[in-house]
């Protein structure tokens, strides 16, 4: 069920059945804040997530002797995080003057940030370790030059700011990375559109995803990391009416 108040405080109550036929409830509070400053065209959003202790979350675990016991229910765990974004118009009429019936050209900056703070809560084997396989700090930004006619171009960056554990014992980690890209295109309101995009321009090696395990020290042959794409170029055309 979901309850939403006039002040944008959202309370969700979730009831889920696990494989052990046990039920647990999660109470999540999310606060959403929106600002729209029409003078500078700035839009901010902020979402805060905090959960009561979660019972019987299903995770891949080992027992106290280090033996793999597969996917079992954890007695208690805790999930909390932040999601934030900022869209701002940095400059107006950069090279082209604003026309009476148009917006001219502009330079915009879009940013998003995510914090995932998921961890065990007093587990007999893993204590208060972080839950493996989840990036902790994620950041994305794009600087874009846009004209009223539909031309756009600009750089972007995708960052996994810190390393994060890929096993529940927190002994093996996926490295941090920063991927730089660039895109350019023409997209009018109607008619022919074209785009070209370059990703991972520095050809950085990184893990785009992981398969978390219980303890990397007892699973030396486990296939955990999924490699991300190297330097790549994309393009396309479309027609709208």
Mean pLDDT of 59-75: 79
Is 60 exceeded by the pLDDT of residue 22?
no
- pLDDT, position 42: 65
**Count, residues in the chain:** 241
- pLDDT, position 189: 86
Beta strand 177-186 pairing with 191-199:
antiparallel
Mean pLDDT of 71-81: 88
Give the rounded distance of the alpha carbon of 83 from its chain centre. Answer: 8
Give the rounded distance of the alpha carbon of 157 from its chain centre. Answer: 13
- From start to end of 54-150, where are the E strands? 54-62, 68-92, 105-120, 137-147
* pTM assigned to the model: 0.78
- pLDDT, position 93: 82
Question: Three-state SS string across 159-212, please?
Answer: EECCCEECECCCCCEECCEEEEEEEEEECCCCEEEEEEEEECCCCCCCEEEECC
Give φ, ψ of 223 to 5 degrees.
-90, 100
Each residue's pLDDT tens digit, 34-65: 455 444 556 777 777 766 678 888 887 877 77
Helix (H, G, I), strand (E, B) or coil at 51: strand
Each residue's pLDDT tens digit, 100-143: 666 688 999 999 999 999 999 999 889 999 999 999 999 999 99
Residue 232's pLDDT band, with cuts at 50, 70 and 90, is very high
Distant-in-sequence, close-in-space partners of 207: CB < 8 Å, separation ≥ 6: 174, 175, 225, 226, 227, 228
Cα–Cα dist 134/216, whole Å: 16
- pLDDT, position 103: 67
Is 60 exceeded by the pLDDT of residue 192?
yes
- H-only helix segments in 103-171: none
Which of 14-23, 47-56, 139-148, 160-169 is predicted least confidently?
Answer: 14-23
- pLDDT, position 222: 82
Instruction: Report CA-CA distances (Å) from 188 to 63, 95, 198, 238.
Output: 60, 19, 21, 11
- pLDDT, position 176: 97
b/e 105-129 (16+ beta carbons within 10 angstroms → b): bbbbbbebbbbbbbbbeebebbeeb
Is 80 exceeded by the pLDDT of residue 236?
yes
């Amino acid at each position: 069920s979901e309850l939403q108040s006039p002040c944008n405080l959202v309370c969700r109550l979730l009831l889920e059945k696990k494989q052990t036929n046990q039920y647990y409830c999660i109470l999540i509070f999310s606060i959403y804040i929106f600002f729209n400053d029409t003078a500078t065209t700035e839009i901010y959003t902020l979402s805060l997530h905090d959960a009561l202790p979660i019972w019987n979350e299903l995770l891949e675990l080992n027992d106290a002797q280090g033996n793999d016991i597969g996917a079992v229910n954890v007695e208690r765990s805790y999930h909390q995080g932040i999601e934030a974004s900022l869209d701002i118009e940095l400059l107006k009429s950069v090279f082209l003057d604003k026309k009476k019936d148009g917006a001219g050209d502009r330079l915009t900056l879009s940013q998003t940030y995510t914090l995932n703070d998921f961890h065990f809560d007093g587990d007999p084997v893993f204590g208060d370790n972080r839950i493996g396989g989840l990036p902790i700090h994620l950041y994305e930004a794009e600087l874009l030059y846009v004209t009223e006619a539909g031309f756009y171009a600009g750089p972007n960056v995708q960052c996994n700011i810190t390393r994060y554990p890929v096993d529940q014992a927190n002994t093996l980690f996926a490295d941090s990375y920063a991927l730089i890209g660039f895109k350019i295109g023409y997209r009018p309101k109607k008619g022919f559109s074209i785009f070209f995009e370059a990703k991972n321009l520095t050809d950085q090696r990184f893990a785009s995803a992981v398969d978390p395990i219980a303890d990397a020290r007892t699973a030396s042959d486990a296939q955990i990391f999924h490699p991300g794409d190297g330097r790549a170029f994309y393009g396309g055309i479309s027609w709208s009416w």
